[in-house]
Amino acid sequence: MEIHHPLVEPKAVCMKKMIKQVLAERSPPLMAGLIRGLALTLRHRLEDPQGLVTKNPDQPRIWAFWHNRILMMPYFYERLCPGRRMLMMVSRSRDGEFITRIMNRFRIDGARGSSSRGGSDALRELLRELERPQPRDIGITPDGPRGPRGKVQDGVLALAANSGIPIYPVTAHYSRFWEMPSWDRFQIPQPGAVCRVVMGPAVAAPKSLATSEMNRVREALANALGD
């Protein structure tokens, strides 16, 4: 009969931990590579009638995009905003840590928090970032991390109101894509699809935190992002 010392883990447990550690270390670079590889198969079309990509390139911008389009956004940001970095609100969950490590490879850092866990701390971090002499851009999924899908939450509106910085909506429309059975109907473009990256129109920051003003800007942002 095999006896395990309480301070010595069985070989199977040690092996399982080692595999998890290897996957945790190798998966983010692999996923980043897969995103880049998929992006190279797409036919990109940029629609930016207001010239938001090139407008005031040295000024910080608040980028907003729906949660179900997050897969390709790091690649688009890297290509459209060379030399810039982004600070993006990401969940404090284990999935959030994994996503952050992938985004790091596209010049995007994570402010850990969400509407359900640590959201106020993350918002304060984003506001402090915008007050720095050379701030990074800010990225937010207005309906993340748990939805409802396509509904603008208060976080991005409060950030814009307190900083006075307008919100730049950006979305991607794929001619062909797979839709996951998740709360947000997560979209993955199919190789070879046409990808329309649509910018704006820019949404002015709320003039106050009054409910009527917030609702007005909420509706404008939702309309700009579309479905």
What are the per-10-residue average pLDDT scores of the chain (227 residues)? Answer: 49 49 66 94 95 86 94 94 90 77 92 59 88 93 86 93 94 96 94 95 92 94 93
User: For residues 111 and 117, what is the distance between their CA atoms, to the nearest angstrom?
Assistant: 12
What pLDDT sits at residue 218?
95
Report whether the peptide linkage leading into residue 145 is cis, meaning its omega lies within 30 degrees of zero. Answer: yes
Taking Cα atoms as reference points, which of 191, 219, 221 lies closest to residue 34?
Answer: 191
**Residue bearing tokens 């002499």:** 133
Taking Cα atoms as reference points, which of 198, 188, 206 lies closest to residue 226?
Answer: 198
* Phi–psi pair at 81, nearest 5 degrees: -125, 65
Say if CB 224 and CB 169 are below 8 A apart: yes
Say if CB 152 and CB 143 are below 8 A apart: yes
What pLDDT sits at residue 186?
94
Q: Is 166 exposed, middle or buried (0-12, 13-18, 19+ CB in 10 A)?
A: middle
Amino acid, res. 176: R
What pLDDT sits at residue 113?
59
* CATH number for the segment(s) 11-225: 3.40.1130
190: left (phi over 0), alpha (psi -120 to 50) or beta: beta
What pLDDT sits at residue 18?
47
User: For residues 194 and 42, what is the distance between their CA atoms, to the nearest angstrom?
Assistant: 6
Say if CB 216 and CB 207 are below 8 A apart: no
Give, for 45, the enclosing helix (H) or strand (E): strand 43-47
Give the number of other Cβ atoms within 10 Å of residue 57's Cβ.
Answer: 11
User: For residues 136 and 202, what is the distance between their CA atoms, to the nearest angstrom?
Assistant: 18
What pLDDT sits at residue 178?
96
